[in-house]
A and B are shown apart, each in its own frame.
Chain A
């Protein structure tokens, strides 16, 4: 059974650009969550999608957005990149029912220069 796949693994962008990260959940999982990990702030929840609807959202500016497709794959987008957006972005998938647990991908390491 394939795990959670995140692409790309590494990304370097320039300030002001935008970026799109992709996450393919485990087959059958309908919930996809996104987290940002930085040395200063630790692991912080960005948002969660379930059956193509945003079900929960963390405390991030509107530059951070996401969506989920009918096949449960999810993308997150960050517009007008800032240096502080440099981080490891982790995606987690779950069945989305009764807190069955979350399986994480290997993450996308974004560097903004």
Chain B
């Protein structure tokens, strides 16, 4: 069975601080996909990134960066120079190619204070 763990339930930072959201996953598949979604108060899940298990190259997109390490089964997300608009719940998710469902972590509530 697959599982995603986001150990940080809530994180509070001051604007311009860097913040890292942790994600650890479990799966028996050798091919799988990892995702990060952002959920603002409006409720919609906003897609941030998708990474397949064969691509361990880290990715940077503006202030966002992701660190994927298969050796530790982790897919961590860093926001550099956080802004108030980054305040939201962030979800890490896993999808195995054998199925089409997403298994979500519990989510991390990020609050960025001015």
Q: Please determine whether chains A and B interact with each other in the same assembly.
A: yes
Minimum CB–CB distance from A87 to chain B (whole Å) comes to 11
Chain A contact residues, majority secondary structure: strand
Cα-based distance from A99 to B95 in the complex (angstroms): 8
A107 with B43: CB separation less than 8 A: yes
B contact residues around A43 at 8 Å (CB): 91, 93, 102, 104, 107
A45 with B101: CB separation less than 8 A: yes
A104 with B91: CB separation less than 8 A: no
A105 with B44: CB separation less than 8 A: yes
Q: What count of chain B residues pass the 8 Å CB interface test?
A: 24
Q: What sequence of 0s and 1s flags, for each residue 55-94 of chain A, a beta carbon within 8 Å of any chain B beta carbon?
A: 1101000000000000000000000000000001010101
User: Knowing A42-B107, A43-B91, A104-B37 touch, does A33 contact B44 (C-beta < 8 A)?
Assistant: no
A contact residues around B106 at 8 Å (CB): 42
Cα-based distance from A33 to B101 in the complex (angstroms): 8
A-B contact pairs, 8 of them (CB 8 A): A35-B104, A43-B91, A43-B102, A44-B104, A58-B101, A90-B45, A107-B44, A109-B43
Contact residues of A with B, CB < 8 Å?
31, 33, 35, 42-45, 48, 50, 55-56, 58, 88, 90, 92, 94, 96, 99, 101-107, 109
